[in-house]
Structure 1
Amino acid sequence: MKDETLKFNESEVEWNSWSKADDIEHHRKRLIDDEHVNKLYCDIYEIPPMKANWPLHYHTCNEEVFYIIEGYGEVITENGVLKVKSGDILRFPAGEKGVHQLKNTSDSETLKYLDLGTTNLPDVVFMPADNKIGLISGESGQDKMYSYKDL
């Protein structure tokens, strides 16, 4: 399955939701799922008004690219806060320089974006604001194991 050409429509994919505390929440469609992942993944996210997508974090082994489809917000980066809007493209390199958290700053509109990234395993995810690390291990096509430990 990893070496096959894929064609499907976004409307055929179900939304999954995740939240943490009161300020982090997203809805995600995994367009390229674990069964098909080889060297990259592709997701569509929606962030509700006044929420962030994930805790502030960076990956040691993987890069991410966001394309803002609709809405606006801000992204926290190593170099400060950047305003983002529909049409913007963001690249987060592996390592500390790629630290990021995307926030929807609208009080009424959803922020929707495409998330593309590499899938190098194992990957360590650092969440500096939470003093936590995550380990993502395993092979594509299998469940990934997440374990968090306080720093």
Structure 2
Amino acid sequence: MKHDTLKINENEVEWGTWSKGDEIEHNRKRLIDDEHVNKLYCDIYEIPPGKTNWPQHYHTCNEEVFYIIEGQGEVVTESGVLKVSSGDILRFPAGEKGVHQLKNTSDRETLKYLDFGTTNFPDVVFMPADNKIELFAGKSGQDKMCSYKDL
């Protein structure tokens, strides 16, 4: 694992795509890749119009921060639904109070955001709406001990 200063240009990183069902879809650039992950990660996401980023979830050991670069949407949180737009910063603490799901509410514009957070392992991720859990045991989620198990 490298711990040197790292300079990355987002234009040199390829997009990856992930989807689940009809509602969940995103494109992601892993800016700090698994080789460099130590105590934090950093990704850029794009959510197509009308889609959500991930299943509603929270982490037991990790915090996340989103910076909305462009677009508009809403995030489902423990305390309700918050409207978000360019320039907004969202912090999701570890634990149930950090439950979240980001949705692009536009019917034609992409929602783009920076996602960064801590990488403490193991990390149990609860998806309460789906009644499932995921356990990450290694860096950046590569090593999963179990995945999408019913509670």
**Same fold? TM cut 0.5:** yes
Please report the RMSD computed on the Cα atoms of aligned residues, expressed in angstroms: 1.2
SS of the aligned residue for 2:97 comes to helix
Matched residues, number? 150
Alignment correspondent of 2:143? 144
Shift of 1:141: 7.6
Check whether the contact 1:133–1:148 (CA below 8 A) recurs between aligned residues.
yes
TM-score, normalising length: structure 1:
0.96
SS of the aligned residue for 1:126 comes to strand
Alignment correspondent of 2:74? 74
Q: Distance in 2 between the 1:100 and 1:141 partners?
A: 19
Check whether the contact 1:35–1:141 (CA below 8 A) recurs between aligned residues.
no
Q: Distance in 1 between the 2:19 and 2:55 partners?
A: 10
Q: Encode CA deviations 1:9-33: one digit per residue, 9 max, x unaligned.
A: 1011000000011000000000001
SS of the aligned residue for 1:97 comes to helix
Alignment correspondent of 2:8? 8
2:76 counterpart letter in structure 1? I
Check whether the contact 1:48–1:104 (CA below 8 A) recurs between aligned residues.
yes
Q: Distance in 1 between the 2:8 and 2:124 partners?
A: 31
Shift of 1:143: 2.9
With 39-48 and 141-150 compared, the bigger mean Cα shift is at 141-150
SS of the aligned residue for 2:11 comes to helix
Alpha carbons of structure 1 residues 87 and 142: separation in structure 2 relative to 1, 3 Å: closer
Alignment correspondent of 2:52? 52
Q: Distance in 2 between the 1:128 and 1:88 partners?
A: 25
Q: Distance in 1 between the 2:141 and 2:22 partners?
A: 31
Q: Distance in 1 between the 2:94 and 2:44 partners?
A: 20
**Poorly superposed stretches of 4+, deviation over 3 Å:** none
TM-score, normalising length: structure 2:
0.96
Q: Distance in 2 between the 1:141 and 1:75 partners?
A: 23
Unpaired runs of 5+ residues, structure 2, are none
Q: Distance in 1 between the 2:30 and 2:3 partners?
A: 18
Alignment correspondent of 1:99? 99
Alignment correspondent of 2:20? 20
The percent of aligned pairs where both chains have the same amino acid is 81
